Amino acid sequence: MVSNYMVSQALERLIKKVHMLQVRIDLLPSVLSKQFVMDLKTLSFRATSSSGSTILVNVGEQKTLEVLKGLKDPVTAYEVAAMTGRARAVESLYLNVLHRRGVVLKERQGRKAVFALKEEQ
């Protein structure tokens, strides 16, 4: 049988651990860049329609999709980055994730990869 004393001791240990975690979380902004913290805060997901099906994309991917929707010709991650104001590596990541989900077409042209939004059928 578990006594009230044992329960209260376990609860006190948990409260201490939660407090320690809160202190570590509060220190994160000083360790991480402000942009990274802002990116973490914007990891909400939205539904978007593509090729007749609904997919979930995060806010960053949504911005990349909006750029692609406004273009006719395939573009590189560098060109998308210039339009969104984000780093090429970030856009490359988003474009490749969208390609793996089947939302974006990817084609190699020499060393470059170009991306285009799949046409809705």
Angle, in degrees to the nearest 10, between helices 88-100 and 59-69 = 90
Same domain, 15 and 63: no
Residue 60: strand, helix, or coil: helix
Check whether 43 has a pLDDT greater than 60.
no
> Average pLDDT of 29-54?
60
User: What is the per-residue pLDDT across 102-119, written as a single tens digit (0 to 9) for each?
Assistant: 889 999 999 999 999 987
Confidence of residue 121 (pLDDT cuts 50, 70, 90): very low
Structural domain total, the chain: 2
Answer yes or no: is 38 within a domain: no
C-beta of residue 70 within 8 angstroms of C-beta of residue 39: no
Same domain, 27 and 48: no
Confidence of residue 74 (pLDDT cuts 50, 70, 90): very high
Q: Which domain holds residue 11?
A: 4-31
This prediction's pTM:
0.59
What is residue 29's predicted lDDT score, i.e. its pLDDT?
Answer: 67
Same domain, 57 and 97: yes
